[in-house]
């Protein structure tokens, strides 16, 4: 184990202000995201390979190089071919881990330096990119010098064996800004609450533009489906940034339609922006009014990437935002992480490794149909890797799982007060950055918010919210209520709030009361409205008399009701029915006499 060498940054904001090049043969903890480490690498006067985990980072950095007149090429599955690499005369090659071997095969790596950006991903990507990680580990020493860069370093105990002996460096900043984490624990209905929050930005109830980081295209689709119900043309205000692959493109097309397509993270921000893990780390997102939300579903207790481990990376990801030092964490708790000690968790990982090692051994002996099901299940299992139709044990699972556990408990550890009834504010220091956690009240999922996401609201809740909006200086939302429930506006303006309360906010009673107080209509019209009989309806004589009595009383008509009074308002026909062996006299409504 090496001692850490410290590099003093003083009051500087960017690494390029005090370093002309990154340290050689080093593991650099830059501490802060957005510190400009990749900019130093890309401005290198020496030949430099920048090795990154995602294609989106290549596209993002190529755009940066273009803006800064730097000659660079990108190498990935659909990027530059081998002939272009071999004939490239510039100094900068940006490559994914998966394609690093292509570059090594076409250049003399001993004449080039390499920077491996977001190097912590070598650990937490082991569950699904084993070959890509091996590609990096097998090739980095072939270069003139190397530097692994991260803002979320891995503890030696859970570091990959190949990297443990590398000299560590850490930037010491004098001007680190604390991060405020507003946390909102939910029991359920995660997608609905996120939709309500996103809409609050679109409708001007909340400041800025919503940037939602959620590691699930299906999760994004679930939220967008609620948003679609609120506004017909909301697609113009929604941006979805995810990996460009057949699965994602097909999911978006099948479940949201052709109007909703993925965007690059370099595209202009909109009012509502969604990002999957392709943009959690390394990418420079731009929006001066960007408000950051991190969303995680604890009910999915074992996925290959846990978004909570990337909280330090996402905070500050929107580089120019005036709100970049604040994030809101919206989550449903995961008891697997929340109520397990590190020792207990480690033992469970060991047990799982043993179990899945047996699964791998037995894989060759099961039927083809069973193999298909096992491989399908391996997609979300951190202990298994599917490779060319075969099943492998993830050898890095121990490092991966323990790194995730420790990171979560360092940066995400929400505690309740002594009564265990409410959450409280706490302060955590992780990798030299202060995190101030404070509980945030969840929005109500009633009334107008329910209406906004296309659900049936409680009528009373809607009335109370409408009254509150009408009596406040700002009445955002009244238009939606009035368009779908015009009777609430009529009741407010004609009956008044006291009468609405006296009627206990019952829609049917509002309707009857509005009929009664209508000064433009005569009593015959009001009787028809109050009786509300339909053509073809059959009624017994006692029922008709009872309904007439009630209507007369409501209208203040002093009269003893008779069944034949009905002929004043409707065309009726005597009609007998046999019910349970008895012949019952009644009348059938033929038409209206009063309209």
Q: What is the pLDDT of residue 27?
A: 95
| Distance (Å) of CA 531 to CA 84, 541, 552 | 83, 14, 10
Q: Does residue 586 have a pLDDT over 70?
A: yes
Q: Does residue 73 have a pLDDT over 90?
A: yes
Q: SS3 letters for 492-541? A: HHHHCHHHHHHCCCCHHHHHHHHHHCCCCCCHHHHHHHHHCCCCCCEEEH
Q: Give the C-alpha separation, 445 to 456, whole Å.
A: 11
Return the CATH fold of 179-336+415-439. Rossmann fold (3.40.50)
Token pair listed for 379: 């997609």
Query: Please, what CATH class does the domain formed by 4-173 belong to?
Result: alpha beta
Residue range 521-595 in CATH 3.80.10: no
Instruction: Please report, to the nearest 10 degrees, the dihedral formed by the alpha carbons of residues 453, 457, 463, 468 taken in order.
Output: -40
Confidence of residue 511 (pLDDT cuts 50, 70, 90): confident
Mean pLDDT of all residues in 145-173 = 90
Specify the DSSP class assigned to residue 416. B
Q: What is the pLDDT of residue 93?
A: 96
Confidence of residue 308 (pLDDT cuts 50, 70, 90): low
User: CATH 3.40.50.300 spans which residues of the chain?
Assistant: 4-173, 179-336+415-439
Q: What is the pLDDT of residue 278?
A: 77
Task: Select, from the ranges 149-163, 206-220, 332-346, 368-382, the one with the highest average predicted confidence (pLDDT).
Answer: 206-220
Q: What is the pLDDT of residue 128?
A: 53
Q: Does residue 429 have a pLDDT over 80?
A: no
Q: Taking each helix axis as running N to C, give the angle between helix 507-516 and helix 523-531, from 0 to 180 degrees, rounded to the nearest 10.
A: 170
H helix runs in 203-341, sequence order: 217-228, 246-256, 311-314, 335-338
Selection from 277, 294, 282 nearest residue 319 by Cα: 282
- According to DSSP, the residues that pair with 275 across neighbouring strands are 213, 241
Q: Give the C-alpha separation, 481 to 230, whole Å.
A: 12
Selection from 159, 139, 162 nearest residue 150 by Cα: 159
Task: Select, from the ranges 128-142, 199-213, 317-331, 362-376, the one with the highest average predicted confidence (pLDDT).
Answer: 199-213
Mean pLDDT of all residues in 173-188 = 86
> What b-and-e string marks burial along 200-222, b requiring 16 or more CB atoms within 10 Å of the CB?
bbbbeeeebbbbbbbbbbebbbb
Please provide the distance, in angstroms rounded to a whole number, between the alpha carbons at the two ends of the chain: 92
The helix or strand, by DSSP H or E, that contains position 242, with its residue range, turns out to be none
Q: Give the C-alpha separation, 527 to 550, whole Å.
A: 10
Q: SS3 letters for 175-201? A: CCCCEEEEEEECCCCHHHHHHHHHHHH
Q: β-strands 48-52, 72-75: how paired?
A: unpaired
Confidence of residue 414 (pLDDT cuts 50, 70, 90): very low
- Helix, strand or coil for residue 468? helix
Taking only the tens place, the pLDDT of each residue in 74-130 is: 999 877 778 889 899 999 999 999 899 999 999 999 999 999 998 988 886 655 566
Mean pLDDT for all residues in the chain: 85
Range with lowest mean pLDDT among 161-165, 257-261, 406-410, 537-541: 406-410
Mean pLDDT of all residues in 358-383 = 81
Taking only the tens place, the pLDDT of each residue in 449-489 is: 898 888 899 999 999 999 998 888 766 778 889 889 999 99
């Amino acid at each position: 184990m090496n001692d850490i060498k410290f590099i003093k940054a003083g009051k500087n904001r960017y690494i390029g202000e005090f370093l002309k090049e990154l340290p050689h043969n080093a593991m650099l903890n830059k501490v802060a995201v957005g510190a400009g480490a990749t900019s130093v690498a890309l401005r290198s006067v020496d030949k430099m390979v920048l090795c990154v985990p995602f294609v989106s980072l290549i596209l993002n950095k190529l755009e940066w190089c273009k803006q800064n007149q730097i000659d660079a090429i990108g190498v990935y599955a659909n990027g530059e071919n081998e002939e272009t690499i071999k004939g490239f005369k510039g100094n900068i090659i940006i490559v994914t881990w998966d394609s690093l071997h292509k570059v090594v095969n076409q250049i003399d790596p001993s004449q080039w330096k390499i920077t491996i950006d977001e190097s912590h991903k070598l650990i937490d990507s082991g569950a699904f990119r084993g070959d890509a990680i091996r590609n990096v580990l097998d090739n980095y020493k072939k270069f003139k010098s190397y530097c692994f860069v991260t803002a979320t370093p891995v503890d030696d105990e859970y570091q990959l064996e190949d990297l443990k002996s590398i000299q560590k460096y850490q930037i010491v900043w004098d001007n680190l800004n604390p991060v405020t984490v507003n946390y909102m624990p939910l029991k359920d209905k995660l997608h609905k609450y996120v939709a309500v929050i996103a809409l609050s930005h679109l409708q001007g109830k909340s400041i800025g533009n919503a940037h939602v980081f959620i590691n699930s295209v299906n999760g994004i689709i679930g939220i967008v489906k609620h948003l679609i119900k609120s506004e017909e043309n909301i697609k113009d205000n929604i941006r979805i940034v995810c990996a460009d692959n057949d699965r994602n493109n097909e999911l978006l097309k099948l479940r949201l339609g052709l109007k909703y397509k993925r965007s690059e993270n370099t595209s202009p921000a909109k009012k509502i922006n969604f990002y999957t893990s392709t943009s959690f780390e390394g990418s420079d997102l731009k929006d001066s009014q960007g408000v950051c939300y991190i969303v995680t579903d604890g009910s999915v207790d074992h996925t290959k990437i846990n978004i909570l481990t990337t909280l330090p990376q996402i905070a500050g990801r929107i580089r120019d935002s005036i709100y970049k030092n604040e994030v809101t964490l919206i989550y449903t708790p995961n008891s697997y992480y929340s109520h397990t000690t590190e020792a207990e968790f480690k033992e469970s990982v060991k047990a799982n490794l043993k179990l899945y090692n047996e699964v791998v051994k037995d894989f060759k002996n099961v039927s083809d149909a069973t193999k298909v099901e096992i491989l399908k299940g391996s997609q979300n299992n951190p202990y298994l890797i599917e490779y060319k139709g075969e099943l492998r044990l993830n050898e890095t699972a121990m490092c991966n799982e323990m790194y995730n556990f420790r990171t979560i408990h360092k940066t995400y550890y929400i505690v309740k007060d002594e009564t265990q009834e409410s959450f409280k504010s706490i302060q955590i220091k992780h990798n030299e950055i202060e995190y101030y956690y404070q509980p945030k009240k969840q929005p109500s999922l009633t009334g107008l918010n329910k209406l906004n996401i296309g659900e049936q609201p409680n009528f009373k809740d809607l009335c109370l919210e409408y009254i509150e909006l009408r009596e406040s200086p700002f009445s955002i939302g009244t238009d939606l209520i009035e368009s779908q429930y015009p009777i609430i506006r009529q009741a407010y303006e004609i009956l008044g709030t006291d009468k609405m309360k006296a009627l206990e906010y019952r829609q049917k009673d509002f309707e009857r009361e509005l009929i009664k107080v209508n000064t433009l209509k005569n009593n015959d019209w009001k009787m028809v409205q109050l009786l509300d009989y339909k053509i073809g309806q059959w009624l017994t004589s006692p029922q008709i008399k009872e309904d007439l009595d009630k209507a007369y009383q409501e209208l203040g008509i002093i009269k003893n009701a008779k069944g034949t009074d009905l002929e004043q308002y409707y065309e009726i026909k005597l009609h007998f029915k046999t019910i349970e062996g008895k012949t019952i006299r009644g009348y059938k409504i033929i038409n209206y006499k009063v309209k």
